[in-house]
């Protein structure tokens, strides 16, 4: 049997930097265990604010390899690293294949680094909250740099934008058409665009395309996204990437953007948390889960429209005079 | 509380590069709803245990084609004892002679699967082991 | 109760071709040139096995060189006619027995071979000028092993032009899978390909009867890919190597006759025969039309075969004898040049002496008792086999075209495309057994037999690993260090210098000076600043 630890033991363990306790606490968070919340709260005062680097990009672009090279470099510089690798959960089985470890063996097992995989399964409170809690735990362990890897498609793309201080978007030659289609929206995809596999044909064109897109608009925060070419498997361009990451961080600090970013993030967090709680409440009051199929069928058969169903649900859960927009 | 999904670390130990079986098992487990952490080839016992600890895994699964099963299973189990790690089940699969199946179990391995083991049997035995 | 009619539920071949109820002249109207003539569908010689029986070449290698030497001699004494020397996985990754990550695998899946002394011990008392050898090892490690072998011949006073055999020497297919990770972990990939070419070049010039490369289709097939994929992958890979040698300035007719294949014989008997016949045709046409070969020796596709181990089961292991017999028959009917019949005990361990003997006997019974080897290509002209041969050939060309358009096999491999295909195939094969789409008697049909094996199973010698590790350490301590240091320094320096230097000479000098497998590989790794897992 697995031993059950007291919240005190866990908190002390995490503060000591003990990987075992940190990992136990992370599992408690993933499982939505109440004591997990208590521990996180107790740890808050001890958690320094680490520099959080988000890394997104399409599967196969080389995110994991880039992360392992950056982390290796940071470790040599004496930094303490935490890595959170988020992988999609199969929507069919709920299972997942978390294979990034295979590509991070260069840093795996190093005392200064803690790697944790996370599947995007139905976390109580959502993936963003779990990630946020993981960052706090790693901060309390004494990690000063945290790298979060996501596939960067769909929902978690939005949350990583707010969780990360610095966001890297990893692209590779051949993705030009896709990026073109985004037009100026591309500016928000990352603070730094890493053109990986830059030894392949089409890398120069890719850089030119990006520069052209960047020149079309300005970002609200005034940062102009940077482009770094890398061949991660050969460690090429990694030094430069690190310099640019530092420049971005400096930019945030100098302009006082870090606290603003943090506030922005907390606001979103509040809303996310509220959504989660509301759903729980509604479920408890009128068994939403049990009735979801029936509602879906009604809409599907054309007997009800979406707004009508939402009204129904809210009413059923005891919220009076549901106020519809428009 | 969300129903807890089980996490299994799968790894090849040492230099044996035969990964056919373990990759198929990885897929089956994933399809069954497990979270599979695939550590790939060429691991030493220390790395596998580090990963299992960092990931709070419920089990470690390793496969052997070339006869390294006793050498590595013993090291994994000794290391877990030495580091006081409890609650992680150890599963071994691969080309393993019957007399070694017994020896592995005596060493502390919880389940052993050999070539031709059916999917359903494997999944049932792992489910009951981790329940 | 109504009588249950027993029938087969699925008439597809293993690669998905639907077998017809029967075949007749509407299915095949072609004509065939006789065996020994282009495009060699019916075999590479007119007299085929009358002229020379296939070579019986059982893979053998385990533990120390001394133990393996005993097994080789035993096999030769019972009628094996060629040697198939398999080194252990440490040696195949350029590591010595004393390297920490290697220690658990020393001597398990092949012979542990670090030093020149090891080679001499392995071949002690074996006439290497009379019996051919296949050396199963890939570049850059193949250069060290080949150097050890050639130095041994030199020391025995045997001129190199009297040596016959094959070095595997393919940087991609040797590792099972072949997974990208396995080929990228222990040596810089591009350099290993380059050193493979160095060795081919050296052998072309210096060892005229030695096969310079063996395209290992077998290991790929063992993951679960089908007959068409096996053929197309290996042919495309061969095309890459041919292009590489042409780029090095060699005339195709100078090296093509010395490219050999290592194929698989699976359970689907007619499809396997058709595959082997189709591969001969594809090779002949590719060499003649695409690469403009003129020498007829360049056009003949020669292959060694090992019978598939994937269909073998741990349950009711004696059934495996029947399976291996059918697979061996497929190889013989397909007209191959050498055969390894997989042992019935291989779902448990390495073959015992008894199992090895049975493999040789299986081949001898087919050769001498069954009479199937009396005429060349006995299935030639069969509507079924000819129509299947045509269809498979067409599918091979189609898939080869896809690979060519993606930049060739080596490129597809580096991009991960090959691995994706292999993964798909291995899941499909495993699922097919689960769904009873592929029947495995005793496993998913007619179960309930005796689950416990009552056969003898191979055991490694007690303490073998510890002894080997000690030997290597002791060897390194005792030798004359100065020449070793100098030779390794030379390998390091020349590797750094890079591209144009053929590395075989310097590596051979390092072997002669007493350097071990890993020391030589480490010198090259160091030159590239390449880290391997500890």
> CB-based contact (8 Å) between B127 and chain A?
no
Query: For residue A286, what are the domain limits?
Result: 265-316
Tell me the HSE value of C225 on the side-chain side, using a 13 A CA sphere: 25
Supply the DSSP string of C325-389, one letter for each residue: HHHHHHHHHTT-SEEEPPPTTTTTSSPPHHHHHHHHHHHHHHHHTS-TTSSSSTTTT-HHHHHHH
CA distance linking residue B36 with residue B49, whole number of Å: 15
> Using CB atoms, which residue from A1, A24, A95 is nearest to B33?
A95
Same domain for A216 and A293? no
What is the least distance, in Å, from the CA of C314 to any CA of chain B?
A: 6
Q: Is residue A122 part of a domain?
A: yes
The residue with greater pLDDT, A1 or C146, is C146
Average pLDDT over residues C336-354: 92
> Using CB atoms, which residue from A1, A20, A94 is nearest to B53?
A20
In Å, what is the CA distance from C264 to each residue of A228, C269, C286, C311, C345? 47, 12, 21, 12, 18
CATH of the domain at A121: 3.40.50.300
Q: Where are the alpha helices (DSSP H) in A33-125?
A: 34-43, 63-76
> CB-based contact (8 Å) between B23 and chain A?
no
Q: Which residue of B has its CA nearest to A97?
A: B36
Same domain for A119 and A9? no
Q: Is residue A324 part of a domain?
A: no
> CB-based contact (8 Å) between A105 and chain B?
yes
Q: Which residue of C has its CA nearest to A102?
A: C181
Same domain for A67 and A30? no
How many domains is chain A built from? 3
Q: Which residue of A has its CA nearest to B37?
A: A98
Same domain for A108 and A16? no
Three-state DSSP at A256 gives: coil
CA distance linking residue B116 with residue C437, whole number of Å: 15
Q: Is residue A241 part of a domain?
A: yes
- The closest alpha carbon to A8, from A33, A38, A32, belongs to A38
Q: Is residue A326 part of a domain?
A: no
CB contact under 8 A, B20 and C222: yes
Looking at the DSSP assignment, which residues form a beta bridge with residue A149? Answer: A55, A85
Same domain for A103 and A249? yes
Q: Please give the structure tokens belonging to residue C404.
A: 């060519």
Q: Please give the structure tokens belonging to residue A185.
A: 């929206």
CB atoms within 10 A of CB C462: 8
Confidence of residue C481 (pLDDT cuts 50, 70, 90): very high
Cis peptide before B7 (omega within 30 of 0): no
Average pLDDT over residues C224-251: 97
Confidence of residue C450 (pLDDT cuts 50, 70, 90): low
What is the least distance, in Å, from the CA of B87 to any CA of chain A?
A: 4
pLDDT tens per residue, range C258-305: 999 999 999 999 999 999 999 999 999 999 999 999 999 999 999 999
CA distance linking residue B127 with residue B29, whole number of Å: 10
pLDDT tens per residue, range C364-416: 999 999 999 999 999 999 999 999 999 999 999 999 999 999 999 999 998 88
Three-state DSSP at C426 gives: helix
Q: Where are the alpha helices (DSSP H) in chain A?
A: 7-15, 19-31, 34-43, 63-76, 126-140, 155-163, 176-182, 203-214, 238-254, 257-286, 288-300, 306-316
Same domain for A238 and A281? no
C340 by Cβ neighbours in 10 Å (0-12 / 13-18 / 19+) ranks as buried
CB contact under 8 A, C430 and B119: yes
What is the least distance, in Å, from the CA of C534 to any CA of chain A?
A: 11
Same domain for A296 and A248? no
Average pLDDT over residues C52-71: 93
> CB-based contact (8 Å) between B54 and chain A?
yes
3-state helix, strand, coil in chain A (%, to 5): 55, 15, 30
Tell me if B11 sits within 8 A of B60, measured CB to CB. Answer: yes
What is the least distance, in Å, from the CA of A31 to any CA of chain B?
A: 6
Query: Structure pTM?
Result: 0.88
Tell me if C440 sits within 8 A of C433, measured CB to CB. Answer: yes
Q: What is the pLDDT of residue C339?
A: 96
CB atoms within 10 A of CB A112: 17
Q: Which residue of B has its CA nearest to A123?
A: B2
Average pLDDT over residues C194-216: 97
Q: Please give the structure tokens belonging to residue A148.
A: 């979060």
Tell me the HSE value of A272 on the side-chain side, using a 13 A CA sphere: 22
Q: Is residue A322 part of a domain?
A: no
CA distance linking residue C15 with residue C390, whole number of Å: 14
Q: What is the pLDDT of residue C1?
A: 59
Q: Counting one residue from B and one from C, how many pairs have CB atoms under 8 Å apart?
A: 106
Q: What is the pLDDT of residue C20?
A: 97
Complex prediction ipTM: 0.88
- The closest alpha carbon to C407, from A292, A200, A47, B1, belongs to A200
CB contact under 8 A, C416 and A60: yes
Element (H, E) at C213: strand C213-216
Q: Which residue of A has its CA nearest to B28?
A: A95
Q: With contacts defined as CB-CB under 8 Å, which chain C residues touch A93? A: none
pLDDT tens per residue, range A170-216: 999 887 777 777 777 777 789 999 999 999 888 999 899 899 888 88
Q: With contacts defined as CB-CB under 8 Å, which chain C residues touch B72? A: 104
Q: Is residue A179 part of a domain?
A: yes
Three-state DSSP at C436 gives: coil
CB atoms within 10 A of CB C493: 13
Phi, psi of C123 (to 5 degrees): -100, 15
**Model confidence at B2: pLDDT above 50:** no
Q: With contacts defined as CB-CB under 8 Å, which chain A residues touch B39? A: 101-102
- The closest alpha carbon to B45, from B7, B17, B13, B5, belongs to B13
Three-state DSSP at A68 gives: helix
C80 by Cβ neighbours in 10 Å (0-12 / 13-18 / 19+) ranks as buried
Average pLDDT over residues B99-123: 93
How do the pLDDT tens digits run along chain A, 326 residues long?
A: 455 789 999 999 999 999 999 999 999 988 888 899 899 999 988 877 899 999 988 778 889 999 999 999 999 999 999 999 988 776 667 677 777 777 787 787 778 899 998 887 655 456 777 888 999 999 999 999 999 998 755 554 557 777 889 999 999 988 777 777 777 777 778 999 999 999 988 899 989 989 988 888 888 888 999 999 999 888 899 999 999 999 999 999 999 988 888 888 788 878 877 887 888 889 888 888 888 889 989 999 988 898 889 888 998 888 875 565 54
Residue where one domain finishes, among candidates A255, A279, A300: A255
Q: Is residue A14 part of a domain?
A: yes
Task: Determine the Cα angle at A207 with ends A205 and A209, to 5°.
Answer: 65
Q: Is residue A151 part of a domain?
A: yes
C345 by Cβ neighbours in 10 Å (0-12 / 13-18 / 19+) ranks as buried
Same domain for A117 and A134? yes
Tell me if C344 sits within 8 A of C317, measured CB to CB. Answer: yes
Q: What is the pLDDT of residue A293?
A: 87
Tell me if B34 sits within 8 A of B6, measured CB to CB. Answer: yes
Q: What is the pLDDT of residue A321?
A: 59
Average pLDDT over residues C163-172: 94
Q: With contacts defined as CB-CB under 8 Å, which chain B residues touch C427? A: 24, 27
Phi, psi of A64 (to 5 degrees): -60, -40
Same domain for A71 and A41? no
The residue with greater pLDDT, A261 or C487, is C487
Same domain for A272 and A290? yes
> CB-based contact (8 Å) between B20 and chain C?
yes
Q: Please give the structure tokens belonging to residue A277.
A: 């709680």
Phi, psi of A88 (to 5 degrees): -70, 145
Range from C80-84, C159-163, C207-211, C297-301 carrying the lowest mean pLDDT? C80-84
Tell me if C378 sits within 8 A of C333, measured CB to CB. Answer: yes
Same domain for A60 and A207? yes
CA distance linking residue B56 with residue C142, whole number of Å: 42
Q: What is the pLDDT of residue B1?
A: 34
pLDDT tens per residue, range C97-107: 999 999 999 99
Mutation pick from A27, A29, A85, A117 vs chain B, by most beta carbons of B within 10 Å, is A117
3-state helix, strand, coil in chain C (%, to 5): 50, 10, 45
Three-state DSSP at C526 gives: helix
Three-state DSSP at C306 gives: strand
Q: What is the pLDDT of residue A235?
A: 86
Q: Counting one residue from A and one from C, how many pairs have CB atoms under 8 Å apart?
A: 4
Q: With contacts defined as CB-CB under 8 Å, which chain A residues touch B127? A: none
Mutation pick from B8, B10, B12, B30 vs chain A, by most beta carbons of A within 10 Å, is B30
Three-state DSSP at C519 gives: helix
Supply the DSSP string of chain B, one letter for each residue: -PPPPPEEEEE-BTT----HHHHHHHHHHHHTT-EEEE--SSB-HHHHHHHHHHTT-SEEEEEESSS-HHHHHHHHHHHHHHTT--S-EEEEEES--HHHHHHHHHHT--EEE-TT--HHHHHHHHHHHH-
Q: Where are the alpha helices (DSSP H) in A147-202?
A: 155-163, 176-182
Q: With contacts defined as CB-CB under 8 Å, which chain A residues touch C181? A: 102
* Interface chains of chain A (3 or more CB pairs under 8 Å): B, C
Three-state DSSP at C529 gives: coil
CB proximity under 8 Å: A 58-87 to C: 60
Phi, psi of B2 (to 5 degrees): -70, 145
CA distance linking residue A105 with residue A103, whole number of Å: 6
Average pLDDT over residues B98-102: 92
pLDDT over 90 percentage in chain C = 85
Confidence of residue C507 (pLDDT cuts 50, 70, 90): very high
Handedness of CA C413, C423, A150, B43 (dihedral sign): negative
Q: What is the pLDDT of residue C368?
A: 97
Q: With contacts defined as CB-CB under 8 Å, which chain C residues touch A106? A: 531
> Using CB atoms, which residue from B41, B115, B116 is nearest to C179?
B41
Phi, psi of A117 (to 5 degrees): -90, 155
CB atoms within 10 A of CB C204: 17
* Interface chains of chain B (3 or more CB pairs under 8 Å): A, C
> Strands C83-86, A145-149: parallel, antiparallel or unpaired by DSSP?
unpaired
Same domain for A233 and A179? yes
Supply the DSSP string of C39-91, one letter for each residue: T-TT-SSSSGGGT-PPEE--EE--BSHHHHHHHHHHHHHTT--SEEEEB-HHH
């Amino acid at each position: 049997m697995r031993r059950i630890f007291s919240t005190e033991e866990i908190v002390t363990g995490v503060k000591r930097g003990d990987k075992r306790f940190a990992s136990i606490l992370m599992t408690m968070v993933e499982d939505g265990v109440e004591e997990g919340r208590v521990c996180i709260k107790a740890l808050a005062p001890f958690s320094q604010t680490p520099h959080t680097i988000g890394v997104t990009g399409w599967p196969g672009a080389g995110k994991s390899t880039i992360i392992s090279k950056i982390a290796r470099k940071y470790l040599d510089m004496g930094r303490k690293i935490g890595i959170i690798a988020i992988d999609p959960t199969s929507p069919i089985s709920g299972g997942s294949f978390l294979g990034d470890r295979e590509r991070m063996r260069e840093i795996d097992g190093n005392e200064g680094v803690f790697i944790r995989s996370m599947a995007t399964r139905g976390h109580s409170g959502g993936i963003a909250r779990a990630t946020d809690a993981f960052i706090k735990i790693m901060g309390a362990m004494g990690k000063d740099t945290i790298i979060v890897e996501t596939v960067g498609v769909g929902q978690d793309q939005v949350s990583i934008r707010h969780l990360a201080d610095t966001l890297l978007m990893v692209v590779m030659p051949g993705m030009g058409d896709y990026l073109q289609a985004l037009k100026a929206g591309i500016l928000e995809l990352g603070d730094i665009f890493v053109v990986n596999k830059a030894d392949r044909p089409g890398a120069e064109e890719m850089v030119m395309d990006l520069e052209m897109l960047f020149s079309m608009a300005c970002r609200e925060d005034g940062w102009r996204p940077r482009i770094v070419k890398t061949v991660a498997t050969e460690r090429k361009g990694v030094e430069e990437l690190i310099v640019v990451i530092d420049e971005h961080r400096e930019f945030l600090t100098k302009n006082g953007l870090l606290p603003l970013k943090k506030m922005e993030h907390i606001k979103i967090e509040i809303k996310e948390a509220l959504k989660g709680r509301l759903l729980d409440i509604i479920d408890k009051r009128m068994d939403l889960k049990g009735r979801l199929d029936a509602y879906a069928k009604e809409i599907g058969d054309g007997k009800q429209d979406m707004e009508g169903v939402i009204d129904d649900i809210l009413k059923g859960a005891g919220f009076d005079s549901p106020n519809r927009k428009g | 509380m969300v129903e807890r999904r089980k996490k299994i670390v799968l790894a090849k130990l040492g230099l044996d590069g035969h990964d056919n079986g373990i990759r198929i098992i990885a897929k089956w487990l994933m399809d069954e709803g497990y979270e599979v952490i695939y550590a790939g080839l060429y691991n030493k016992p220390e790395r596998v245990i580090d990963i299992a600890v960092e990931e709070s895994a419920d089990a470690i699964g390793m496969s052997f084609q070339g006869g390294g099963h006793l050498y590595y299973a013993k090291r994994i189990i000794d290391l877990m004892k030495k580091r006081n790690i409890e609650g992680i089940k150890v599963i071994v699969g691969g080309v393993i002679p019957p007399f070694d199946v017994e020896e592995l179990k005596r060493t502390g391995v919880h389940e052993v699967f050999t070539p031709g083991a059916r999917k359903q049997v494997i999944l049932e035995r792992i489910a009951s082991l981790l329940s | 109760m109504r009588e249950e009619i027993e029938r087969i539920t699925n008439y597809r071949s293993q690669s998905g071709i639907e077998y017809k109820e029967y075949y007749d002249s509407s299915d095949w109207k072609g004509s065939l040139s006789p065996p020994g003539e282009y495009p060699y569908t019916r075999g590479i010689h007119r007299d085929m096995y009358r002229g020379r029986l296939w070579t019986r070449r059982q893979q053998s290698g385990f533990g120390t060189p001394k133990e393996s030497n005993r097994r080789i001699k035993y096999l030769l004494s019972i009628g094996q006619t060629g040697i198939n020397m398999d080194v252990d996985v440490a040696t195949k990754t350029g590591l010595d027995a004393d390297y920490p990550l290697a220690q658990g695998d020393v001597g398990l899946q092949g012979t542990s071979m670090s030093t020149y002394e090891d080679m001499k011990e392995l071949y002690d008392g074996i006439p290497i000028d009379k019996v051919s050898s296949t050396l199963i090892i890939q570049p850059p490690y193949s250069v060290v092993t080949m150097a050890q072998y050639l130095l041994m011949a030199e020391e025995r006073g045997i001129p190199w032009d009297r040596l016959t055999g094959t070095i595997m020497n393919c940087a991609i297919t040797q590792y099972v899978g072949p997974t990208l990770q396995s080929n990228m972990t222990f040596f810089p990939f591009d350099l290993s390909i380059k050193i493979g070419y160095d060795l081919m070049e050296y052998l072309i010039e210096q060892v005229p009867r030695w096969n310079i490369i063996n395209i290992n289709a077998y290991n790929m097939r063992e993951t679960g890919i089908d007959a068409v994929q096996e053929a197309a992958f290996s042919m495309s890979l061969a095309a890459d190597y041919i292009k590489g040698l042409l780029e090095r300035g060699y005339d195709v007719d100078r090296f093509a006759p010395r490219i050999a294949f290592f194929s698989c014989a699976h359970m689907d008997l007619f499809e396997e025969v058709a595959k082997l016949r189709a591969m001969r045709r594809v090779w002949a046409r590719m060499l003649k039309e695409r690469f403009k070969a003129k020498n007829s020796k360049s056009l003949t596709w020669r292959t060694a075969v090992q019978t598939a181990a994937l269909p073998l089961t741990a349950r009711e292991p004696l059934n495996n004898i029947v399976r291996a017999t059918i697979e061996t028959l497929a190889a013989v009917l397909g007209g191959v040049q050498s055969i390894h019949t997989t042992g019935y005990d291989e779902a448990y361990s390495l073959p015992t002496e008894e199992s090895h003997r049975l493999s040789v006997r299986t081949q001898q019974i087919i050769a001498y008792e069954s009479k199937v080897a009396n005429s060349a290509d006995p299935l030639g002209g069969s509507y079924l086999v000819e129509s299947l041969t045509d269809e498979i050939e067409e599918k091979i060309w189609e898939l080869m075209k896809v690979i060519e358009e993606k930049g060739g096999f080596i490129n597809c491999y580096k991009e991960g495309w090959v691995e994706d295909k292999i993964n798909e195939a291995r899941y499909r094969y495993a699922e097919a057994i689960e769904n009873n789409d592929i029947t495995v008697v005793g496993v998913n049909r007619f179960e309930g037999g005796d689950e416990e094996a009552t056969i003898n199973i191979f055991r490694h010698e007690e303490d073998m690993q510890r002894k080997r590790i000690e030997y290597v350490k002791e060897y390194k301590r005792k030798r004359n260090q100065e020449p070793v240091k100098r030779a390794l320094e030379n390998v390091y320096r020349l590797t750094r210098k890079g591209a144009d230097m053929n590395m075989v000479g310097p590596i051979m000098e390092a072997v002669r000076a007493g350097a071990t497998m890993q020391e030589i590989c480490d010198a090259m790794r160091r030159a590239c600043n390449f880290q391997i897992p500890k």
